[in-house]
Amino acid sequence: METIGQRQDLNTTEADTAHRRVDAILRAYGVQHAAFRGIQTQRILTTALNQKTDSPKPLESVAAQIVLHELQAGLEKLGESIASEDAAINSHRLLIALKKTPIPLDYPDAILGHAPLPSDQINALRSLYNIQNRPALKRSSMGAPKLRFESIDGMTSQAVALFDKIPFSKNALALLGIVLVFFLVYFYAK
């Protein structure tokens, strides 16, 4: 098998750019294991080199198309494994649910569709997908809220009970009210 380094017709800068692009795409999809990413990047670049002879596109774009196609196929496989009978799987929502699980770290080859997931991981992914699939709606009324005067009545009755306990407080409150009225009249009469 011919490796990328053994190709004579390959521009090194073009291969480095394609390698960085494929690696970045795999990292964006949550594949954190560097050795796995390196192996998959090497495989994808080899496939891209073989396809590039038929295409005038740069190696970077051919490799990006291949990795995105493989990732989409892997997501479709995962979607089929968690799909219910009544609804189709949205790949964007599946990807969001996938990012919330440890699947990209523990089973990176499942993202590319090369290996199946264990049933406990499938159930965890299915529950996360179903949670985000349902909107959190609650019924509310659009009318004005009803005024409750019980709290004002209760507060008034508590104040009257307090004033009844202290006999001097009624007189002090009345005196304070009279002083306030005289002060306001004096202040505005100037």
Mean pLDDT of successive 10-residue stretches along the chain, which has 190 residues: 54 86 90 88 90 80 91 84 72 80 80 80 81 69 70 79 80 87 88
In angstroms, the CA 128 to CA 57 distance is: 39
10 Å CB burial of residue 130 (0-12, 13-18, 19+) is middle
In angstroms, the CA 48 to CA 89 distance is: 29
**Angle (deg, nearest 10), helices 91-99 and 59-82:** 90
Name the nearest CA neighbour of 123 among 99, 105, 97: 97
Sequence letter at residue 88:
A
Q: What is the DSSP letter of 103?
A: H
The residues spanned by each domain of the chain are 4-133, 159-189
Joined together, the tokens standing for residue 181 give: 């009225």
Sequence letter at residue 95:
L
Check: CB of residue 94 under 8 Å from CB of residue 78: yes
Q: Tell me what pLDDT residue 1 has.
A: 47
Cβ neighbours for 189, distance < 8 A, ≥ 6 positions apart:
none
Q: Tell me what pLDDT residue 124 has.
A: 83
